[in-house]
Amino acid sequence: MLSRLSFSGYFALLMLVLTLLFIFGVTMLPSYDPYGQNLAAGLLPPGGSSFDGRYYLLGTDQLGRDMLSRLALAGQVSFAIGAGAVMVSLVIGVTLGLIAGYFRGPVEMVIMGLADLQLSIPRILLLIVMAAILGPSPWMLAVILGITSWVAYGRVARGMALSLREREFVLAARAQGSTATWNIRKHLLPNVLPQMMIVGSYEFGQIVVMEASLSYLGLGVQPPLPSWGMMVSEGQTYLELAPYLAVLPSIALFVLVASLQFLSQAFTSENDSVDLPERIKG
Amino acid sequence: MNKPAASDQKVLLSVRNLTIQVPVGNGTCNLVDDVSFDIMESEVFALVGESGSGKSLTMMAVLGLLPLPLRMTQGTIVLRGQELTELDFNGMRQVRGKKMAIVFQDPMTALNPVIRVGKQVDEAIRLHNPGLSAKQIRARGIELFRQVGIPNPEQRYDQFPNEFSGGMRQRVVIAIAMANEPDLLIADEPTTALDVTIQAQVMDVLREVRERTGAAMILISHDLGLVAEHADRIGVLYSGSLVETGTTEQVFGAPQHPYTAGLIASLPRVDQKVDRLYSIPGFVPAPDKRPKGCAFSTRCEMSRDRDACTHARPTLRSMPEGRHSACHYAEETESWAKAQAAARVVLDEVDDSALRQAAEPILSVQDLQKEFDVSRGFLGRRAKMKALRGISFDILKGRTLGLVGESGCGKSTLARVLLRLMEASGGQVMLNGKPLLTMQGSALRSARRNLQVVFQDPYSSLDPRMTVHDIIAEPMRIHDCYDAARVNELLAHVGLGPEALLRRPGQFSGGQRQRIAIARALALQPDVLILDEAVSALDVSIQAQVINLLRDLQAEFGLTYVFISHDLSVVRHISDDVAVMYLGRIIEYGSVREVFENPEHPYTQALLSAIPRHHVPEAERGERILLAGDLPNPLSPPSGCAFRSRCRHAVASCAQSEPELIERTRPHHQSACLRAEELSNPAKLAS
């Protein structure tokens, strides 16, 4: 059983490493400038060559920019925004969720009320307001996207905390005189983290797409800086003419998200005995 | 292997050379290894074994319900001349439910919570009687309900499972199993999830329905006492192999395999107290790590070093009187078991209850109360549930108080209130002469060092993400007195080697985990240890090891125990004093010998009579008191004596006021029954 799990874990790890190598490696190799336009060589299919004899492995976009180097650069941007946002939302969500689930009572009511309140406002609206106020730098985007997506972590963390706080190892620690901070840090946090990583890998994909929607509205990453989400939405226009424009970044996004997900799942099931709440089980 | 059946009986089910494999890594591993047995018409055959022995898998194979990736690789299963292993899915469906039916362990999960119980019974009847009309099916279902002793069957037929208590649900499950009057009833731990008094009721129902239809039964159980009382013949499984078969009297009277002998010897007895229980050393090996030769050889104290045991795998061979044993030296078992029994010293219990009055108690509980606010119904009408009412007891240093009662009697609530995990609603607790319940802050923190706890579930009481070292060190880290050497010392005290330190709880068996939990509880050198069902989840042989360990530690460190348990035999063995609880109150309290030998309260008497007495011949077991009904709803207990609704001695005056817990007939023996004087003296009662 263990060996099988490790296999999918290793495979996911391999895919993740390859994706990251691609993202960060291609721009280091001697390759075309991702911003360099070549209007005469627009919409070349993968493997096509331009009139001046330049070879494009993954083709070019409508402005004749090299897809290979753009895909890598966009990957860097998307990965940074996704990872940053997941980090921000994970920290906020886990902290609030564990506090709510451990202390119960009024604290829980306030925190979960806040979560419901936030869910009742369309996320895109919140994003627009915050992006308009804070400006569209990639780092600000990560923070904004992070702040608006903590609820998923918060709810799962609270649910698990509710059951963990009644577990006998937490009761035993309380009987030994441990403080609430101790129990949350030493017992609750390590037991929810693997599940949080799974939630994180789901959220990662969502965030990248959400960033694309913001780009649509002109509030996301500002051109000419590309991101995967933005490339997908730009490519949609040319879906019949040059499907690879939208397909290539979609595949890249899929591989990254899937490998993250498998990796966190393999990590969880290998040394885990705390059950996932039913509703987030795959 | 060929096993002749007793000549006067017909074989109903015959299992031959059953082998069940599971893929492990590149190879396979036999979870059940070459098991053969016969079941006669109308008999009760018990399959006994510890967890992991393969007893449930054997039955799943008989039903054709083995879950993937398990596979039956060898063997035949013949039911009344029909080979079951060759049947396809549809053929098997005709057998399941019609010729064989199963009663599962947990009545809480065996019924679908969103379907009315009646519909679930109807379904079972309709499957094999497609011609019946809805009306006929319902009539048959209600008749079944009546047979399994469900009161008001017409009304209860349309209720949902959550409106039934555990015992009543198990009756519904039995009704479903008996719906088509199967020839063979498979009962997989049918009463393990139930309380002692309910257990007796359910076993009674099983016996009645079997007598009515003449069905045979396979009783799968880890509970030797239960088996001794209800089975005709027994098969003992160890690590996937059958090691002994014989009639119940033969097996309990003179076991022919050292494993069986060891299991029987490790059961505490309710009629005597010995200096230490026999315990089988070690633990059941994992199926892929069985020793060469005899699988039991590493734990066997009878013949572990002999060549035959470590090299040749013994097979089940015929013994005199139609018995079978899988031991090379089966003939020696009897004398070995006798020598073991002789080596145990029966303790002479002196009545020292006078001492209790004289000395200063280490833990003193006075009039402890705990109420829960419960909102009932749609409008949230508030009600108070009294979980603890007027609990008072004293414990002297170095002694053990046993707290006994069924689930819902408040014994775990009491543990949590004493540990200050819940706030009491009233009363006082003095620990070392200081009031525990009013302490706050650092005073409470330091008082907690003196009062520690070991919980029931060895799987939930250790943090799965910590190493054993961190688990045992945690209390010291909380109190800033971490000392790595002390961790090693504690681990050695509970009988584990230092190689355990860096591993995580997932790699340990239940018994080992419980040892780790005990080491953690001892880390701060507490005076009092609360053991909340600390040995209840363990297998018999492991339970004896842990009980012995607890007694050794008590002798070595002068520990005081509050031993909470539903198992009266264990309480008898380990306690000095005992308090019996019913619905939040102590109803009888005294030295363990006094209470067990001269029980005054009818509830205590019923509990004691429900203990299976495997060591007493059937004829001398005495009358079994079957308590009627379930525990009353604690939100609206009966007026007067709370036990009145189930008491066969109740009279009108019982309803008027709750009897106090006072000395009624003998000094230092308190009970809360108005009729204690008559009841403790059977002669008087008769007249």
Average pLDDT value for residue range B104-115: 86
For the stretch B353-406, pLDDT in tens is: 566 566 788 999 999 999 988 766 566 667 788 889 999 999 999 999 999 988
- Would you say residue B72 has pLDDT above 70? yes
For the stretch B154-174, pLDDT in tens is: 889 999 988 888 888 999 999
The torsion of the CA quartet B380, B382, B386, B387, rounded to 10 degrees, works out to 30
User: Which residues partner with B246 through β-bridges?
Assistant: B234
Residue A15: which residues within 8 A CB-CB, separation 6 or more? A255, A258, A259, A262
- Would you say residue B106 has pLDDT above 70? yes
Q: How confident is the model at residue B527 (pLDDT cuts 50, 70, 90)?
A: very high
CB A250 within 8 A of CB A243: no
For the stretch B299-350, pLDDT in tens is: 888 876 788 888 888 888 888 888 999 988 888 888 888 888 888 877 776 6
- Would you say residue B682 has pLDDT above 70? no
Q: Tell me, what's the pLDDT at A154?
A: 95
For the stretch B594-605, pLDDT in tens is: 899 889 999 999
User: Which residues partner with B590 through β-bridges?
Assistant: B578, B669
Percent of chain B with pLDDT over 90: 38
Average pLDDT value for residue range B105-117: 87
Q: Which of B448, B465, B471 sits opposite A175 (nearest CB)?
A: B448
Nearest to B329 by CA among B256, B265, B262: B256
Nearest to A268 by CA among A170, A171, A194: A194
- Would you say residue A271 has pLDDT above 60? no
Distance set, CA B38 to CA B72, B246, B320, B321, B375 (Å): 18, 11, 17, 16, 54
Average pLDDT value for residue range B453-477: 91
Residue scoring higher pLDDT (B349 or B429): B429
Least confident among A37-51, B376-390, B436-450, B453-467: B376-390
> What is the enclosing helix (H) or strand (E) of B172?
helix B166-177
Partner-chain contact A177 B445, CB within 8 Å:
yes
Q: Tell me, what's the pLDDT at B24?
A: 80
Partner-chain contact A169 B462, CB within 8 Å:
yes
Q: Tell me, what's the pLDDT at B290?
A: 85
CB B522 within 8 A of CB B475: no
CB B643 within 8 A of CB B587: yes
Q: Tell me the C-alpha distance between B655 and B557, whole Å.
A: 47
Q: Tell me the C-alpha distance between B297 and B311, whole Å.
A: 10
- Would you say residue A253 has pLDDT above 90? no
Residues of A at the B interface, defined by Cβ within 8 angstroms: 3, 167-169, 171-178, 182, 186-187, 190-191, 271-274
Q: What's the first-to-final CA gap in chain A, in angstroms?
A: 18
Q: Which of B445, B452, B460 sits opposite A168 (nearest CB)?
A: B460
- Would you say residue A282 has pLDDT above 80? no
- Would you say residue A102 has pLDDT above 90? yes
Q: How confident is the model at residue B65 (pLDDT cuts 50, 70, 90)?
A: confident
Helical ranges in chain A per DSSP H:
2-26, 67-103, 105-120, 123-134, 138-147, 151-164, 168-175, 180-182, 189-216, 228-236, 244-270
Nearest to B472 by CA among B493, B491, B446, B499: B491
In angstroms, what separates the C-alpha of B463 from chain A's closest C-alpha? 6
Q: Tell me, what's the pLDDT at B272?
A: 79
- CA B4 to centroid of chain Cα atoms: 34
Percent of chain A with pLDDT over 90: 38
Q: Tell me the C-alpha distance between B4 and B393, whole Å.
A: 59
Partner-chain contact A187 B463, CB within 8 Å:
yes
Closest-CA residue of B relative to A177 is: B445
Residue B492: which residues within 8 A CB-CB, separation 6 or more? B498
CB B166 within 8 A of CB B108: yes
Buried/exposed B464-491: b ≥16 CB within 10 Å, e otherwise? bbbebbbbbbbbbebbeeeeeebbeebb
User: Which residues partner with B671 through β-bridges?
Assistant: B588, B662
Q: How confident is the model at residue A3 (pLDDT cuts 50, 70, 90)?
A: very low
Partner-chain contact B478 A272, CB within 8 Å:
no
**Chain B contacts of A3, Cβ < 8 Å?**
25
Nearest to B62 by CA among B45, B213, B234: B45
Q: Tell me the C-alpha distance between A128 and B284, whole Å.
A: 63
Q: Tell me, what's the pLDDT at B540?
A: 83
CB B435 within 8 A of CB B418: no
Q: Tell me the C-alpha distance between B410 and B424, whole Å.
A: 13
Q: Tell me, what's the pLDDT at B553?
A: 93
Q: Tell me, what's the pLDDT at B8?
A: 56
Closest-CA residue of A relative to B419 is: A175
- Would you say residue A183 has pLDDT above 70? yes
Partner-chain contact A175 B444, CB within 8 Å:
no
Residue B174: which residues within 8 A CB-CB, separation 6 or more? B103, B148, B190, B202, B205, B206, B209
- Would you say residue B4 has pLDDT above 50? no
Q: How confident is the model at residue B590 (pLDDT cuts 50, 70, 90)?
A: very high
3-state SS class at B2: coil
Nearest to A19 by CA among A249, A267, A266: A249
Angle of helix A189-216 relative to helix A151-164, nearest 10 degrees, comes to 170
Nearest to B662 by CA among B650, B673, B652, B651: B673
Which tokens sit at A52?
Answer: 């001046």
Partner-chain contact A175 B452, CB within 8 Å:
yes
Q: Which of B444, B506, B520 sits opposite A172 (nearest CB)?
A: B520
Q: Tell me, what's the pLDDT at B7?
A: 47
- Would you say residue B6 has pLDDT above 60? no
CB A178 within 8 A of CB B480: no
Report residue B109: phi and psi, to 5°.
-110, -10
User: Which residues partner with B366 through β-bridges?
Assistant: B428
Percent of chain A with pLDDT over 70: 92
Q: Tell me the C-alpha distance between B96 and A279, whole Å.
A: 33
Q: How confident is the model at residue A155 (pLDDT cuts 50, 70, 90)?
A: very high
Q: How confident is the model at residue B547 (pLDDT cuts 50, 70, 90)?
A: very high
Residue B7, burial from CB neighbour count under 10 angstroms (0-12, 13-18, 19+) = exposed
> For B62-130, what is the HEC assignment?
HHCCCCCCCEEEEEEEEECCEECCCCCHHHHHHHECCCEEEECCCHHHHCCCCCCHHHHHHHHHHHHCC
Q: Tell me the C-alpha distance between B452 and B525, whole Å.
A: 9
Q: How confident is the model at residue A276 (pLDDT cuts 50, 70, 90)?
A: very low
Q: Tell me the C-alpha distance between B6 and A76, whole Å.
A: 79
Average pLDDT, chain A: 85
- CA B14 to centroid of chain Cα atoms: 30
Q: Tell me the C-alpha distance between A80 and B379, whole Å.
A: 52
Average pLDDT, chain B: 87
In angstroms, what separates the C-alpha of A224 from chain B's closest C-alpha? 47
Distance set, CA A129 to CA A125, A214, B151 (Å): 6, 11, 65
Q: Tell me, what's the pLDDT at B135?
A: 92
Residue scoring higher pLDDT (B430 or B628): B430
Q: In what order do the strands lie in the sheet with B11-24?
A: B27-40, B11-24, B71-79, B82-83
CB B446 within 8 A of CB B421: no
CB B308 within 8 A of CB B226: no
Q: Which of B462, B471, B478 sits opposite A177 (nearest CB)?
A: B478
Q: How confident is the model at residue B1 (pLDDT cuts 50, 70, 90)?
A: very low
Residues of B at the A interface, defined by Cβ within 8 angstroms: 25, 416, 419-421, 444-446, 448-449, 451-453, 455-457, 459-466, 471, 474-475, 478-479, 504-506, 517, 520-521, 524
CA dihedral sign of residues B402, B403, B404, B407 = negative
Closest-CA residue of A relative to B449 is: A176
Least confident among A58-67, A108-117, B109-118: A58-67
Q: Tell me, what's the pLDDT at B321?
A: 84
Q: How confident is the model at residue B687 (pLDDT cuts 50, 70, 90)?
A: very low
Residue B350: which residues within 8 A CB-CB, separation 6 or more? none
Nearest to B15 by CA among B250, B293, B235, B313: B235
Q: Which of B448, B466, B506 sits opposite A176 (nearest CB)?
A: B448
Nearest to A219 by CA among A145, A151, A117: A145
For the stretch A11-22, pLDDT in tens is: 888 999 999 999
Average pLDDT value for residue range B10-35: 88
- Would you say residue A95 has pLDDT above 60? yes
Partner-chain contact A171 B449, CB within 8 Å:
no
- Would you say residue B138 has pLDDT above 90? yes
Q: Tell me, what's the pLDDT at B436?
A: 92
Q: Tell me the C-alpha distance between B181 and A235, whole Å.
A: 69
Least confident among A41-45, A78-82, B661-665: A41-45
The DSSP letter of residue B235 is E
> What is the enclosing helix (H) or strand (E) of B428?
strand B426-431
Average pLDDT value for residue range A97-124: 93
Q: How confident is the model at residue B615 (pLDDT cuts 50, 70, 90)?
A: low
